[in-house]
Amino acid sequence: MFAAIYAAEGSSCEALLAVARDFSPRVETCGPREVALDLSGLTRLFGDAKTIAGELRGTAADRGLRVRIAIAGTRTAARLLVRHRAGITIVEPGDEPAALDDLRIELLEIFDPDEPRTPEPPNPRTTTLRRWGLRTLGDLARLPADDVAARLGQDGVEWQRLARGQDPAPLVPSVPEERFEQALDLEWPIDGLEPLSFVLARLMEPLSAHLERRDRGAAVLHVRLHLVTREVHERSLQLPAPMRDARTLRTLALLDLESHPPAAAIDRVVVAVDPTPGRVIQFSLLTRPLPSPEQLSTLMARLTALMGEDRCGSAVTVDSWEPGAFEMRRFAPQAGIGDQGSGIKNLGLPISDPRSPIPTVAVRRFRSPVPARVRVDRGIPVRVISDRRGLSGGKVETYAGPWRASGGWWIEDRIKSWERDEWDVTLSDGATYRVFRERDTDAWFIEGVVD
């Protein structure tokens, strides 16, 4: 058996769903004010159909809802009857065609996805049936199915089945929105990360168990701290991979709060996550396993708390002609093309072929340019001297340059502008270096060694 509940105008759909779920877990939302529920097996718990209808109506009245209720052997018949009759309507299984025989044919519009919300314009299918002289569902149900299909197509056949009270598809239960959240009201305010660590551990354990039961992982971790000053200190962590380990989540939250501590004592803690499908890991027998996302996230969080947010991450090049220009972005490693398991990323650098007759020249840049003392004769460097171990320096045998470059002069911040003269010099020690002079300070530096 199936029951259909139709609420009065202005009723809340959430409240109507809550009433239906108190009786059956199989509840389908049919509209903003209508639900259908499967009553299979409920007679042993509540009694016959009349008793179940009375219980449904009483529960709805207790929650301030005025409802109509219809119970029938099919979901379609229950929905049609609840739209036609007020109060409680009960039809025994097998009696649906007789109960629907006198219902007006316009009721079939509730199954049309393009059902008009106002009397105008009328439904074109209903208009066609009216021109044929059909007024009730019984008139349509008694027509030969082949003739209906020949004139109205498959849509007409479906309407005829509905007029006979047949269900077009099984009931599809509405899945309730599930929240992955834990909260705790403290008996007295706490201040500091050490007592907060115990509170987070108490909240993360049931949250992790909930994620485990639903085979979900946390994509974003939200921590909301309600302070004694009536303010809310909220932090959100974007996790690199779905994870649900309680210890890892607690560690990440604490390390983030260490860098962004609350301004006052805490009297309420709320932890929530944005769920995502769980992660499936396939290990390889041929390569060494990489660090897990939990270990990598914890390491990056510790480094960020120690060094600062703008000092940890991945160095990426920027759109600039300035040599060595880069910026820091969030560390998110990706497997390279053709090497998905190793985690090695192809940087797109030209790789020389040992069989190629054309030599490849590379510059091994120093991470920080090495200061140097350069003797100049008529604008040309003739000797380079450095105090750096391994860079002996010496007389300039051959040279190439200068290559003058500048940039950033259009930026108001003078520190970001640069202007330099570059030279490639071969010294008496046999090594070739790339040196440059900063034109605004007249200082010389060794940028790298040419191989």
Residue 304 pLDDT more than 80? no
In a domain, 239, yes or no: yes
My answer on whether 13 and 71 are in the same domain is: yes
Sign, CA dihedral 439-440-445-448, equals negative
Q: Note if the bond before 289 is cis, omega within 30 degrees.
A: no
* pLDDT for position 337: 36
What tens digit of pLDDT does each residue of 134-160 get? 889 888 888 898 888 888 888 888 888
Averaged pLDDT for residues 66-79: 90
CATH number of the domain enclosing 268: 3.30.1490.100
Least confident of 131-135, 254-258, 262-266, 358-362: 358-362
Query: Which residues partner with 373 through β-bridges?
Result: 385
How far apart are the C-alpha atoms of 54 and 69, rounded to whole Å? 9
When divided into structural domains, the chain yields a total of 3
My answer on whether 219 and 268 are in the same domain is: yes
What is the bridge-based pairing of β-strands 266-277 and 443-450?
unpaired
Q: Which residue do the tokens 């890991």 mark?
A: 281
Residue 256 pLDDT more than 60? yes
* pLDDT for position 122: 67
My answer on whether 93 and 225 are in the same domain is: no
What tens digit of pLDDT does each residue of 23-38 get? 888 888 888 889 899 8
My answer on whether 255 and 144 are in the same domain is: no
My answer on whether 8 and 116 are in the same domain is: yes
Averaged pLDDT for residues 115-130: 66
Q: What is the CA radius of gyration of the chain?
A: 38
Asked if 105 and 124 count as a contact pair (C-beta separation under 8 A), the reply is: no
My answer on whether 192 and 245 are in the same domain is: yes
**Percent of the chain at pLDDT above 90?**
13
How far apart are the C-alpha atoms of 341 and 321, rounded to whole Å? 34
Averaged pLDDT for residues 404-427: 78
Query: Which residues partner with 220 through β-bridges?
Result: 238, 274
- Name the pLDDT band for 346 (thresholds 50, 70, 90): very low
What tens digit of pLDDT does each residue of 37-46 get? 988 888 888 8
What tens digit of pLDDT does each residue of 220-249 get? 899 999 999 999 999 998 887 788 889 989
* pLDDT for position 126: 82
> Where does 238-393 have alpha helices with state H?
246-259, 293-307
- Name the pLDDT band for 272 (thresholds 50, 70, 90): very high
* pLDDT for position 351: 44
* pLDDT for position 347: 36
Provide the token pair at 90. 């009960």
* pLDDT for position 233: 93
My answer on whether 191 and 143 are in the same domain is: no
> Where does 282-395 have alpha helices with state H?
293-307
How far apart are the C-alpha atoms of 403 and 425, rounded to whole Å? 13
What DSSP line would sit under 27-84, residue for residue? Answer: EEEEETTEEEEE-TT-HHHH-SHHHHHHHHHHHHHHTT--EEEEEESSHHHHHHHHHH
Closest to 236 measured CA to CA, from 248, 212, 219: 219
How far apart are the C-alpha atoms of 75 and 30, rounded to whole Å? 11
- Name the pLDDT band for 115 (thresholds 50, 70, 90): very low
My answer on whether 134 and 7 are in the same domain is: yes
For residue 336, what are the contacts with CB-CB under 8 A and spacing of at least 6?
A: 342, 343, 344, 345, 346
My answer on whether 134 and 254 are in the same domain is: no
Averaged pLDDT for residues 391-405: 85
- Name the pLDDT band for 202 (thresholds 50, 70, 90): very high
In a domain, 285, yes or no: no
How far apart are the C-alpha atoms of 220 and 243, rounded to whole Å? 10
In a domain, 290, yes or no: no
My answer on whether 31 and 119 are in the same domain is: yes
Averaged pLDDT for residues 384-394: 81
Residue 354 pLDDT more than 70? no
CATH number of the domain enclosing 152: 3.30.70.270
Asked if 108 and 159 count as a contact pair (C-beta separation under 8 A), the reply is: yes
Whole-number Cα distances in Å, 170 to 28, 80, 189: 10, 17, 53
How far apart are the C-alpha atoms of 352 and 223, rounded to whole Å? 51
CA atoms within 13 A of residue 89's CA, in its CB half-sphere: 25
Residue 241: give the domain boundaries. Answer: 181-277
Residue 350 pLDDT more than 50? no
My answer on whether 405 and 445 are in the same domain is: yes
In a domain, 19, yes or no: yes
Average pLDDT, the chain: 82
